[in-house]
């Protein structure tokens, strides 16, 4: 088991996002919960692929998830 941080954003009336710790693990859905479920499935599928190919999983370490203000 491993924890991931889903980053979710709205796309029209739907939601999309990615797992901050694993590049390429994305998902989308009609609800936030559906998007998170797809992200978790993507993480599981990617980890299996890395193991099949016998290469290390490129996990990232999230050190900050707070919003910051930019001047634009």
Domain that holds residue 10: 6-52
pLDDT of the residue at 65: 82
- Total domains in the chain come to 1
What tens digit of pLDDT does each residue of 5-48 get?
999 999 999 999 999 999 999 999 999 999 999 999 999 999 99
Q: Quick check: 64 pLDDT over 90?
A: no
Q: Does the residue 57 lie in any domain?
A: no
Q: Please check whether residue 61 lies inside any domain of the structure.
A: no
Q: For residue 35, how many other CB atoms are within 10 A of its CB? A: 24
Is 58 within a domain?
A: no
SS (H, E, C) the chain: CCCCCEEEEEECCEEEEEECCCCCCEEEECCHHHHHHHHHHHHHHHHHHHHHCCCCCCCCCCCCCCCCCCCC
pTM attached to this predicted model: 0.89
In this predicted model, which residue has the larger pLDDT, 70 or 64?
A: 70
């Amino acid at each position: 088991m491993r924890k991931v941080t889903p980053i979710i954003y709205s796309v029209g009336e739907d939601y999309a996002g990615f797992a901050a710790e694993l590049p390429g693990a994305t998902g989308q859905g009609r609800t936030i919960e559906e998007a998170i479920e797809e992200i978790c499935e993507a993480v599981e599928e990617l980890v299996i692929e890395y193991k099949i190919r016998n290469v290390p999983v490129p996990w990232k370490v999230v050190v900050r998830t707070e919003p910051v203000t930019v001047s634009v």
